[in-house]
Amino acid sequence: MIANRSAAFYRLNDHELTLQDVDLALNESYPAKLRYKVLDRRARCLLALHQYGEAREAFRATLLALDEASDLDVEKRRKWQMDVQIMLKMMDKTKPKDVSKF
């Protein structure tokens, strides 16, 4: 339920509330096979909030969680992994003014 609410907050562009619900879901033993979804949502919120270092870590955690997503179709998993890798590469190319955040 909390993960679904985080998705609703994400669609409303309420990044702070999304992050709160994602953290709650992760702390309440959210199923390993679905963790990639909330971790990806967390990474995108952190990116929107210009918390680049944490966003980078969350994207990397998303990639690791995708390896555990046993019920995810192979093609969908590959596409999601590619999307995350693209986000990481874009972050590498666009350096914010405050590089210390990386």
Q: Which residue has the higher pLDDT, 49 or 29?
A: 49
Q: What is the pLDDT of residues 55-83, one digit of tens each?
A: 999 999 999 999 887 788 899 999 999 99
Q: Domain ranges in the chain?
A: 2-101
Return d(Cα 14, Cα 78) in angstroms, integer.
Answer: 28
Contact 38, 10 (CB under 8 A): no
pTM listed for this prediction: 0.86
Query: Cβ distance 18 to 38 under 8 Å?
Result: no
Residues 66 and 37 sit within 8 Å (Cβ to Cβ): no
2-101: what CATH class?
A: mainly alpha
d(CA 4, CA 79): 22
